[in-house]
Amino acid sequence: MGYTIVPATPDLSELIDHVEQAVQVRTGGRIRGLRIRIDDGCVVVSGRTSTYYNKQLVTHAIRDVVDDMSLQNEVEVC
């Protein structure tokens, strides 16, 4: 199971780490190819999972960490 973190700046790198950890914990590591980045104040998360429930858990996990940023959940259910 591999995770990719794409740091944009040192400050954002820490935020991305927190978001990635929250997603891992909330989903039990069920997001394959997890990738998190921040583009113009928007958290963009991608990867693959087997259920829509897991995709929804990703959204809730990120909202627990950052509720003042927009979110684009591109996790693919397959």
> Tell me: the pLDDT tens digits for 35-77?
999 999 899 999 999 999 999 999 999 999 998 899 999 999 9
d(C-alpha 69, C-alpha 67), whole Å: 6
Q: Which class for 71: exposed (0-12), middle (13-18), buried (19 or more C-beta within 10 A)?
A: middle
Those residues with Cβ within 8 angstroms of residue 42's Cβ, 6 or more apart along the chain or in another chain:
69, 70, 71, 72
The Cα–Cα gap between 48 and 14 comes to 23
- The CATH number given to whatever domain includes residue 40 is 3.40.1520.20
Phi, psi of 6, rounded to the nearest 5 degrees: -110, 95
Confidence (pTM): 0.83
* Count of structural domains, the chain: 1
Range of the domain at 7: 3-77
